[in-house]
Amino acid sequence: MKKIFLLVPLLISCSPAEEKSEYEKLLDYEGKYEYVDNTTLELKASDFDTTLYAVIDKAKYPLKHIALDSFANIADIPVVFERDESNRVKGYRTDGLEFKLITSDIEKMEMFPRKELFHNPDNYVYHKPKKTTDGLETGSLADEFKNPKPIIEMVKETIKGKFPDVHSILIYKNNKLVLEEYFYGYDENTPHQLRSATKPFIGGILGIAVDNGLIDSEKEKILPYFKSRYPKISNLDHRKREITIEDFLMYHHGMDCENNNPESKGNEVTMMESKDWVKYTLDLPMVKRPGISSSYCTGCALTLGSLVEIAAGRKIEDFAKENLFNPLGILNYDWTFEPNQASRNNFSQMYITPRDLIKLAKLFKDGGKWKGKQIISKSWIDKTIKMDKGDYGYLWEHKYFVINGQTYNSYLASGNGGQKINIWPELDMITVFTGGNYNSYQLYGKSTPPNEMIPKYILKSVK
């Protein structure tokens, strides 16, 4: 989903007037500040890695030291902090705009993976996850894995900080939750933002709408559903008229929409500058016939969410609560689906606890059933996971790893920052990672930690 506007590395320095540690110098800049669109951000110093972070909605973005009260982002746009007569920071200027410090009184944030074990990670002791009333059975790593040692090592390496900003790791194997570990102050009661990992669950909600007869079939053309809401669609030609609901589910839309291409007119960042993200998506020009090949496009999932609302005659959040979340006993979550600029900071994303992510993934793994009750039809689930290698199926992605010539297949819900929900049907396993490595590829040119941790530790344990 969309990258945060300000949140690219800022480069900063501190006043040379006092003899302070590098961490103490960073404390000068801590506080809540004004931000774009009448919102706010917080700057917080970390004694873990001596870095200043900009924090929005619990997502933190590193700021790097360069010169006296002067900053620059990765686009080389200057960010300059100003001080008052008492030499206290009072705000900052950037790109012709001024933002004031609102207060220096802010809540501290846990910056260590686990502070009590950071210097002694070998003191970590594995414990079987506790059984709660959420309906998940629990078990032991040693009982479900031939060689659990790599997984234990993975947890210790995370405690050491080798895999920064991994907030949780959960493994569900042979219908038992066998690993549940949290870091950086997160716990089992903290709903975590999913970013684009929200999209596959929108696909499931759409499936429920089809199951309930609110939509006849995903083979139907998509534009007629939006005719009353958007009487005039731009770039309308015979190819666009042929787009089906399934084409959007498979990202086979044929439009000029590709998230990873900054030149694409439907690029997520460009789309989110528009007033109405669904209208913007439907107005995009066509570049090929629909149904031919996939092109990952955020606007497709948002449009399908709006389609559910049109078909159901109510907000998708209410429809999902009645037909998905309540039947699964998922109560501790948050979701505001509003695909327009009102969602510039929350991206219309779901916030769900990692244990509840296991339950959602288990629903898809088990053919749409939970505790013997059919929540999503098996036929919809079968079509969801029927996808070509490395392609998409009903907003899920086929993700596979090849290790020593052996292929490990999974179905993936993935989101910016390291949100990874993998279903491994051949291993009877689900893995869940949540994290805060937002925009890691754009900032550092590298993928998020789970892409390394899964093959190096988890798959190694099941070989």
What mean pLDDT do residues 6-31 have? 67
Give, in degrees to the nearest 5, the angle at Cα 445 between 424 and 58: 70
Confidence grade of residue 175 (pLDDT, cut at 50, 70, 90):
very high
What mean pLDDT do residues 393-408 have? 96
Residue type, position 123, single letter = N
The hierarchical CATH code for the domain 11-103 is 2.40.128.50
Give the whole-angstrom CA distance, residue 217 versus residue 224: 13
Give the whole-angstrom CA distance, residue 392 versus residue 423: 14
Question: pLDDT at position 18, please?
Answer: 52
**Residue 85: is it exposed, middle or buried by C-beta count within 10 angstroms (0-12/13-18/19+)?**
exposed
First to last CA, the chain: 34
Question: pLDDT at position 440, please?
Answer: 72
DSSP run (H or E) holding 158: helix 149-160
**Domain spans of the chain?**
11-103, 121-190+353-462, 198-312
Whole-prediction pTM value?
Answer: 0.93
Read off the tokens for 361. Answer: 């993934």
Q: What is the tens place of the pLDDT at every residue in 40-80?
A: 999 999 999 998 898 998 999 888 778 889 877 656 777 88
Read off the tokens for 218. Answer: 């995903």
> How crowded is the C-beta side of 462, counted as CA atoms within 13 Å?
20
E strands, 35-120, are 40-46, 51-56, 59-68, 70-72, 78-83, 89-94, 97-103
Question: pLDDT at position 94, please?
Answer: 86
Residue 404 pLDDT exceeds 80: yes
What mean pLDDT do residues 303-309 have? 98
Give the whole-angstrom CA distance, residue 2 versus residue 121: 35
Percent residues over pLDDT 90 in the chain = 84
Confidence grade of residue 443 (pLDDT, cut at 50, 70, 90):
low
